[in-house]
Amino acid sequence: MISRIKASPWVRGFCRCLAKGFGWFLSKVERMGWKKRVAWVCFITLFLLWFFSLPKPLFAPSYSTVVTDANGTLLGARLAADGQWRFPVSDSVPYKMERCIVMFEDQYFWYHPGVNPVSIFRAIRQNLSAGHVVSGGSTLTMQVIRSCRGHQVRSFSEKFIEMSMALRLELTYSKSEILKLYLDNAPFGGNTVGVRSASWRYFGRSCDNLSWAESALLAVLPNAPSLIHPGKNRQMLLEKRNRLLKKLQEEGVIDEESCELAISEPLPDKPQSLQFAAPHLVDRMRAAGKNDKVIRSTIDYTLQKRVESSVAYFKSVYSQNQVQNMAVVVAETRTGNVLAYCGNAGYDQEDNNHVDVIMASRSTGSTLKPFLFNAMIEDGELLPDMLQPDIPIQIAGYRPNNYERKFDGAVPAKEALARSLNIPAVLQLREYGIPRFMDYLKRMGITSLNYSAEHYGLTLILGGAEGSLWEITGSYASMARTLLRYSDARAYAEEDIHPLRLTAMPEEEKVRLRKEAPLFQAQAVWQTVNALKEVNRPGIANYWRLFSSSRLVAWKTGTSFGNKDAWAIGVTPEYVVGVWVGNADGEGRAGLTGVSHAAPVLFSLFNQLPATTWFREPAGMSEIEICAQSGYRKGINCPESKVVKGYEPQFETRPCPYHKIVHLTKDEQYRVNSSCLSVSEMTHVSWFVLPPSMEWYYKKHSTTYRELPPFMPGCNPDENTLPMEFIYPKESGKLFIPKDIDGKRSEIVFEVAHRNKSAVLYWHLDNVYLGETSEFHQMGVDTEVGIHVMTVADGDGNMITKKFEIVE
């Protein structure tokens, strides 16, 4: 046991002698009288009390939350629970600090057993001569005991206790450990405890990097921390520091030149704030209870400061429109390690800047659309070039609209995503299924979907759900990480799906993730990021085009209902950047959109990052033959096709539904059927035919679209070839009569599309004639609560009906 004691050789020799003496005592105790035995029992009892007198642990303080960047640069710290600046303990003592503190406090520290008799007798003599206490004669070991006992009132009995416990401390702890205990718990003025917190408070850097002058200053502070510190009695403090420096020179620790240079250094000003960067991140770490050690984060301090500077600039611009808050997160795509964490546009109480918006749940806007696009490609329900309906719709009382309130009739799926069109996205979600999509999002790491699919409905894809910038940005990184995994396996070995990280991932966590089945298919993700690469909305300034020529970024914006949230998220093989702009209190502002507010911040930040590359095409891409006009898989009636590379799921996508065989007269001027013309006199042609409602809008934008010829006079069209259909309401169901601002009932506007531009339509409600329309076929209706039937007929006798119910 004695061989394991971490004390000086002198103390270990003393213990060996004590053990031998105890053995001799046991051999003699049988011959002692009862008085001697009592005396020895008392002695042994006192000895045991002394031996077990040290508290366990010696110190049990609360520590400050201390967060550094990836290279050890301090980002910030928070007070410990007891209101002290006390940094977590370290493993060693810096050389300069060791020499200074021993020289000033206890020159014979390395030689005495915890108590220095010479110092004790000298202190007694000085105190008697002065008539009052001027010296305590305490060693560093005794001062450690005094600290762990809570700085009891000075008295002879307390001094005796400190001396006895100091001797006991030296039996258990090495000299280096005792010195470290002293420096970690000594007071350094005000509410600063420990040399490491003092170093940052007074000098703004670690004690490992202090100069001789700075180390000497900290060495003299614990001697009288309440009397002198850098904030007061500066001359007295300067004299004490310089005396110590000269003593170090006399003892040969430093040379004369070093001493003179150290003496010339000024004293620091008042203690500094321990918040240098990423204040919301430090708060987040503190809330997580990570305060028992220094937290080395993944943050890049230099990049963090650049991001904060950019956010401050854009805040000054946007605040003119009363847009006060902003959040940015920048991370590595490959690892998910966060490089910059800017939780808001400042850190004061004004304008709610203290709120960490990165972790706040906000309306997602259109930011979830790429995930639906990717999911449908993976499941064989969509191809990037596949035409999607873009027409006015109403589904179960829900009537979505595009942001620009315009319709194209039919749009390729990848263009609909790039332009962030709402109607195609809503129809895609209805086809894919809301519960199915919610499950997909949850497996990606979106944890904020706490309600049922019925609660969110189809608004889920347009911002009806809430999500945090942290999770959404992490999901974009996870999706892109799939491409890195399967296109560059040598450079990447982690699993695809995991959240962003603020600290390094433990190895066991990496092993667990590698065993999980991947969620994304790399070939589908390749098509998704290429669609996002083409984002180019009308009205965007030429700045974005200049930017896109310098580097490729897959990016998506989002705007919540009421202009309360503006999003922009971009990803490259190297970085993912997420931006949110708005007001933390939920106040909307006119003109606040992802394009106008969040995208400029996004591109500004990408411009400050190192050069980026583009994703490599993954292996396993299939060649798919698609219809040249519709983008669907080629059908039997498609006259032209093209081969594209894409993802080949287990189940093939649907063939083209729009190319149909139509029967025409020989001159192709009229459509016919067997009721009016024999088959031998017909010409059979493959024709690209959109439904009337899609055709109505599509032909306005497409110069190549050919309308179907009219039926030959005397030919009755089939029921399936009616030239008109309802645009609104699309389906039968319940309708609500809207009310104006003054509370008066307004009208429901019915709308019909007809293939013939010159057709005149006749409207009837419950067999009561309402009127006729030409060119633009809309009819306002204000009727009673109940079930009704709308009938619309054209001049050729074609007729369509719609049954609906008016409810309050």
pLDDT 10s digits, 6-42: 555 656 666 676 666 666 665 665 566 666 666 666 7
pLDDT at 689 over 80: yes
pLDDT at 773 over 90: no
pLDDT at 549 over 50: no
- State the distance between the two ends of the chain, measured CA to CA, in whole angstroms: 89
The pLDDT score that the predictor gives to residue 254 is 92
Q: Answer for the pair 598, 579: CB distance below 8 angstroms, yes or no.
A: yes
The model's confidence at residue 609, banded by pLDDT at 50, 70 and 90, is: very high
The pLDDT score that the predictor gives to residue 537 is 39
Amino acid at site 761? L
The pLDDT score that the predictor gives to residue 303 is 96
The pLDDT score that the predictor gives to residue 519 is 77
Q: Which of 8, 147, 215, 366 is catalytic?
A: 366
Q: Worst-scoring range by mean pLDDT, 84-93, 398-407, 626-635?
A: 398-407
Percent of the chain with pLDDT over 90: 40
**pTM of this prediction?**
0.81
The pLDDT score that the predictor gives to residue 152 is 75
**Residue predicted with more confidence, 192 or 51:** 192
pLDDT at 440 over 90: yes
Q: Worst-scoring range by mean pLDDT, 117-131, 524-538, 564-578?
A: 117-131
Told to judge if 30 belongs to the known catalytic residues of this protein, a careful annotator would answer: no
pLDDT at 97 over 60: yes
Q: What is the mean pLDDT of residues 687-702?
A: 87
The pLDDT score that the predictor gives to residue 710 is 84
> How much is the mean pLDDT over the chain?
84
Q: Which of 8, 64, 98, 105 is catalytic?
A: 105
pLDDT at 547 over 60: no
The pLDDT score that the predictor gives to residue 110 is 87
Q: Concatenate the DSSP letters of all residues of 16-46 into one string.
A: HHHHHHHHHHHHHGGGS-HHHHHHHHHHHHH
The pLDDT score that the predictor gives to residue 134 is 53
Both tokens of 13, joined, read 């020799």
The pLDDT score that the predictor gives to residue 490 is 39
By DSSP bridging, strand 409-412 and strand 387-390 are antiparallel
Query: Which residues, 6+ apart, have CB-to-CB distance to 713 below 8 Å?
Result: 670
pLDDT at 619 over 80: yes
The pLDDT score that the predictor gives to residue 9 is 63
Q: Answer for the pair 85, 192: CB distance below 8 angstroms, yes or no.
A: yes
pLDDT in tens, 712-744: 887 877 656 778 888 888 777 788 777 765 667
Q: Worst-scoring range by mean pLDDT, 297-301, 312-316, 642-646, 652-656?
A: 652-656
Ramachandran quadrant class, 590 (left: phi over 0; alpha: psi -120 to 50; beta: rest): beta
Q: Concatenate the DSSP letters of all residues of 324-357 into one string.
A: -EEEEEEEETTT-BEEEEE-SS-SSSGGGTTS-G
Q: Answer for the pair 599, 545: CB distance below 8 angstroms, yes or no.
A: no
Q: Which helix (H) or strand (E) covers residue 305, if one does?
A: helix 301-318
Q: What is the mean pLDDT of residues 647-657?
A: 82
pLDDT in tens, 759-770: 888 888 887 778
Told to judge if 366 belongs to the known catalytic residues of this protein, a careful annotator would answer: yes
Instruction: Measure CA 778 to chain center.
Output: 48
3-state helix, strand, coil in the chain (%, to 5): 40, 20, 40
Give the C-alpha separation, 240 to 219, whole Å: 10
Q: Concatenate the DSSP letters of all residues of 42-108 into one string.
A: HHHHHHHHHHT-S-SSS------EEEE-TTS-EEEEE--TTS-EEPPP-S---HHHHHHHHHHH-TT
Nearest CA among 416, 412, 424, 418 for reference residue 385: 412
Give the C-alpha separation, 7 to 21, whole Å: 20
pLDDT in tens, 486-542: 665 433 444 567 889 998 876 666 655 555 556 788 899 999 999 998 765 334 444
804 pairs with which residues across the strands?
Answer: 733, 788
Nearest CA among 391, 408, 409 for reference residue 400: 391
The pLDDT score that the predictor gives to residue 798 is 78
The pLDDT score that the predictor gives to residue 491 is 38
pLDDT in tens, 67-77: 999 998 999 99
pLDDT in tens, 404-426: 888 899 999 999 999 999 999 99
The pLDDT score that the predictor gives to residue 541 is 47
